[in-house]
Amino acid sequence: MRKQIAAANWKMNLTYQNGEKLLDDILDANIKLSSHQLAIFAVPYPYLIMTRSEVEDEKNYYAAAQNCHHKRSGAYTGEVSADMLHSIGINYCVVGHSERREYNGETNAMLADKVNLCYENNIIPVFCCGEPLAIREEGTQNSYVAAQLRESLFHLPAEKIKEIIIAYEPIWAIGTGKTATTEQAQEIHHFLRTVIADQYSESVADDIPILYGGSVKANNAKELFSCPDVDGGLVGGASLVAEDFIEIIKALK
């Protein structure tokens, strides 16, 4: 079975103390994950060592960075490299989140560089893709997300891309009042898997977990995760509430 993943994205939220308490409350629920299930916490940089320490004795619980720079090193004040993340024992890194694409001007080419640097440092990328509202309204979402995969990932050999985690973000359904249905989620996830299969093979595509990142909540996680091509969620706001994220972890297939 493909990996099923509950990934928390704290974004720029919580103090150190509040983050530590949130992790404690979630871990106190004592959810035993199966061998194919993962819980990943993408936390702000100052909390990475604390988070890694909190989860390191828990089976299949991991800390993740929310970003890394697209250069190995250099005069980039305020940035953090993949090598730095590796040096503190971080195994996962979110790459290409829609907010970074929008607010920081990250291009598909830059994200290809980030993906490469993650792999060079034994870090699994959680690669985000997805379309904004204008693209969805035009009905061109398939070609849009296919280009994101092609331009950022398809230079990878099959043995590397098999290790990746993909997160689909329907940007048009986040904070717009519009809601993506489970049918829409399944449809685009299946399309993404088809695009990967066409480039590599069905067996490669079948191995890659594709997470849904469109306002996953405690009350819709089970329905979303029941879709055959939805392998968990990249969770924003609901990951900041212990009770909610606990239910989302429990909803994994």
Distance (Å, rounded) from C-alpha 70 to C-alpha 108?
11
pLDDT tens profile 184-223: 999 999 999 999 999 999 999 999 999 999 889 999 999 9
Which of 32-36, 147-151, 172-176 is predicted least confidently?
172-176
Marked catalytic residue, from 54, 169, 189, 247: 169
What is the chain's mean pLDDT, rounded? 96
Q: Which domain holds residue 147?
A: 4-250
Look at residue 172 in the predicted model and tell me its pLDDT: 86
3-state secondary structure at position 12: coil
Look at residue 156 in the predicted model and tell me its pLDDT: 98
Mean local confidence (pLDDT), 158-186: 88
Is 169 in the active site?
yes
Domain holding 207: CATH number?
3.20.20.70
Confidence of residue 58 (pLDDT cuts 50, 70, 90): very high
Confidence of residue 179 (pLDDT cuts 50, 70, 90): low
Look at residue 80 in the predicted model and tell me its pLDDT: 98
CB 171 within 8 A of CB 98: yes
Q: What percentage of the chain carries pLDDT values higher than 70? A: 98
Distance (Å, rounded) from C-alpha 220 to C-alpha 181?
10
Q: Does the reported pTM lie above 0.75?
A: yes
Look at residue 173 in the predicted model and tell me its pLDDT: 81
Is 151 in the active site?
no
Look at residue 215 in the predicted model and tell me its pLDDT: 85
Marked catalytic residue, from 86, 97, 106, 247: 97
Look at residue 176 in the predicted model and tell me its pLDDT: 67
Distance (Å, rounded) from C-alpha 219 to C-alpha 238?
10
The total domain count for the chain is: 1
Q: How many CA atoms lie within 13 A of 101 on its CB side?
A: 20
Look at residue 214 in the predicted model and tell me its pLDDT: 87
3-state secondary structure at position 222: helix
Mean local confidence (pLDDT), 163-180: 84
In terms of C-beta density within 10 A (0-12 exposed, 13-18 middle, 19 or more buried), how is residue 70 classed?
Answer: buried
Look at residue 59 in the predicted model and tell me its pLDDT: 97
